[in-house]
Amino acid sequence: MPSRLNNEDIYNLIQQPVATDLIEKADVVIAGSGPVGMTYARTILEKTKATVLMIEVGSQDSPVIGEHHKNSIKYQKDIDAFVNVIKGALQTVSAPPADTYIPTLVGDGWTPPVSENGTSTLIFQGSNPNQIREKNLKASAVTRTVGGMSTHWTCACPTPHDQEIVNNPIPKDERDKLYEQARKLLNVHNDQYDKDSEGDDISIRHNVVKKTLLENLPGNRKIQSLPLAVERRKDNPTYVTWSGANTILGDPTRFDGRFRLRTETRFTKLVPDKNDPKKITSAKLRDLKNDRDIIAMAKAYVITCGAIGTPQVLANSNLATQIPALGRYLCEQSLSFCQIVMKNEIIDYIDKNPDWKARIEAHRLKHKGDPLPIPFSDPEPQVMIPYTSDFPWHCQIHRDAFSYGDVGPRADARVVVDLRFFGRQEIKKENRVYFAGEATARGEWVAGNTDIYGMPQATFEVERSQKDKTNDQKMMKDMCAVASLLGAYLPGSDPQFMEPGLALHITGTTRIGNNPQESVADPSSRVHGFKDLWVGGNGCIPDSTGSNPTLTSVMIALKGAAAVVELLNDSQK
């Protein structure tokens, strides 16, 4: 058998009665090991006796499946160090070739030939010569590891405003119940930076930032603590436990071997049944460690590879023509950002507050000469200004690690506060991600560039409307007004719009809905017209949001998982 299998090879192989190590079988196959994939896995495993095979293209980088890397004490002591972890985890989706002309190169060093338009470009592995610069989400990236982006996410889980849930086909009463289940799965709290069990303020900085905003912004801004998938450790409240994919799955040993995780394995494509094209007969996988194709067979297939990876798998399965909305209606959030150094009057207030006197004196006794009345162990602020009708953007005023915004030696990190404002985008069918190449009748992908994992290259066609741009400017003005209440801009982190795609909150590419012409899947996330195929992730969200999408994605996945359970139960009758 060849190391690379086409559809005919797969059909022949699965019909052979002889057992082979090229075939993996389970009741359910799940592609992707992030929070949404784990939501499907846990629900199915707890409510049935089914077996689940989970496929992950990345490796397991933690002894605990999908654990948040920020749980390391090292990063909780030095949040800026975690910036490098995030940078190392993210891989850009669509990068145009770069101009590689090197005027100082002499001798026999090779350089790309000059093209007709006078440029000298080099197609690096994974770069995309088809990407139009002005329509790119240049900073959009993916994380390929067990747990996905839940290994480094901010854990922000705000509930969307009604205006951010306009197109969701799940009825409100049901949706509210699913949201509550999702919060429990993700272990969401909104009080872990306010008070401890003894009633004392946990974070001085959090409470003073929250107080400043409450006193200076009108009540309709609804200033509150940011809901986070986090819990303060009971053995040592100095530290917290951030939720990851492992939080959702729990201890996998309790499933008595019914859960299997296969890492460093690419989920290449789905193979439809010869006699029933609306039924999936198997999935083609690529064992990256052994460089060979294998087959997975199941009663149900769930693709949760992210807002880019999931439509990529469906497109590579030659399903794009059957699913007209695939990759379309793409929305991404605009992102404005700045960092401030807290005002002198705020620091003076901290120093003179009798509630914090004992903590400050203990700190100064231990660290003589420190001019700041803020203990080194004081947790960072985590405050939210939620989306409202009058201010239609989501705001996070906190101190956390992203792929940008590290403080370094410019200032004492204890007095630095980050402001991140997330804006919505108008929903337009024309905004999309599409994939290079085309599938032949034999099921092989040809003629097109691939990403570094050998899948068809993703290309963006995304433009913000004039309405979006006007709203972005209003959001920037509001951010500057809020920042002025807290302090002065940190040099190098003045108010700015970040690169398109940097929010990493793409929605719509596999949206759920009732109309097969305008959505990819039904309200239960089952792909329209298919009996045994589900999609999951941020791409399923059919709305434009300013809020962080993970909570909503898990909410949608819970309904989808219930539909898979129903299918499995019906198959037993």
Domain for residue 414, yes or no? Answer: yes
Does one domain contain both 79 and 148?
Answer: yes
Domain for residue 248, yes or no? Answer: no
Strand-strand pairing, 52-55 and 28-31: parallel
Strand-strand pairing, 533-535 and 300-303: parallel
* DSSP state for residue 474 in the 8-state scheme: H
- Give the CA diameter of the chain: 80
* DSSP state for residue 170 in the 8-state scheme: S
Does one domain contain both 440 and 556?
Answer: yes
Q: Give the pLDDT of residue 553.
A: 98
Domain for residue 232, yes or no? Answer: no
Count how many Cα atoms sit within 13 Å of the Cα of residue 270 in the half-sphere of its side chain: 32
Region of residue 107 (left: phi > 0; alpha: psi -120 to 50; beta: else):
left
> Which domain covers residue 68, as residue numbers?
1-13+22-93+143-190+256-332+435-448+505-573
Domain for residue 106, yes or no? Answer: no
Domain for residue 36, yes or no? Answer: yes
Q: Which amino acid is at 543?
A: D
Q: Yes or no: say if 152 and 143 are a contact pair by the CB < 8 Å rule.
A: yes
Does one domain contain both 61 and 4?
Answer: yes
Place of tokens 């809905």: 513
Does one domain contain both 542 and 442?
Answer: yes
Q: Give the pLDDT of residue 8.
A: 84
Domain for residue 131, yes or no? Answer: no
Which of 505, 514, 515, 569 is an active site residue? 505
Does one domain contain both 40 and 87?
Answer: yes
Buried b / exposed e over 302-318, threshold 16 CB at 10 Å, is bbbbbbbbbbbbbbbbb
* Cα 24 to Cα 195: distance, rounded to the nearest angstrom: 50
Does one domain contain both 171 and 301?
Answer: yes
* Cα 341 to Cα 416: distance, rounded to the nearest angstrom: 5
pTM of the predicted model, to two decimals? 0.93
* Cα 13 to Cα 20: distance, rounded to the nearest angstrom: 9
Does one domain contain both 340 and 397?
Answer: yes
Does one domain contain both 370 and 483?
Answer: yes
What total number of domains does the chain contain? 2
* Cα 221 to Cα 392: distance, rounded to the nearest angstrom: 11
Q: Give the pLDDT of residue 443.
A: 44
Does one domain contain both 413 and 357?
Answer: yes
Beta strands in 406-536 (DSSP E): 416-423, 432-435, 438-439, 445-446, 458-461, 487-489, 496-497, 533-535
Cβ neighbours for 108, distance < 8 A, ≥ 6 positions apart: none
Q: Looking at 48-92, list the stretches that DSSP marks H as alpha helix, in order from N- to C-terminal side.
A: 73-77, 82-89
Q: What is the pLDDT tens value at each position of the chain, 573 positions in all?
A: 677 888 888 888 887 765 678 899 999 999 999 999 999 999 999 999 999 999 999 999 999 999 999 999 999 998 889 999 999 999 999 987 776 667 777 777 777 777 666 555 666 666 787 888 899 999 999 999 999 999 999 999 999 999 999 999 999 999 999 999 999 999 999 999 998 767 788 999 999 999 999 999 999 999 999 999 999 999 998 999 999 999 999 999 999 999 999 999 999 999 999 888 889 999 999 999 999 999 999 999 999 999 999 999 999 999 988 999 999 999 999 999 999 999 999 999 999 999 999 999 999 999 998 999 999 999 999 999 999 999 999 999 999 877 777 776 778 999 999 999 999 999 999 999 999 764 444 444 444 688 899 999 999 999 999 999 999 999 999 999 999 999 999 998 999 999 999 999 999 999 999 999 999 999 999 999 999 999 999 999 999 999 999 999 999 999 999 999 999 998 876
Domain for residue 514, yes or no? Answer: yes
Nearest alpha-carbon partner for 31 in 148, 126, 142, 141: 148
Q: Give the pLDDT of residue 228.
A: 98
Q: For residue 269, give the H/E element and its range.
A: strand 265-272
In the residue annotation, 505 being an active-site residue is answered as yes
Q: Give the pLDDT of residue 201.
A: 86
Does one domain contain both 87 and 218?
Answer: no
Domain for residue 116, yes or no? Answer: no
Q: For residue 382, give the H/E element and its range.
A: strand 382-385
Does one domain contain both 197 and 174?
Answer: no
Q: What is the CATH number of the domain that holds 306?
A: 3.50.50.60
Number of other CB atoms surrounding residue 376 within 10 Å:
12
Encoded tokens for 222: 């609804």
Does one domain contain both 304 and 381?
Answer: no
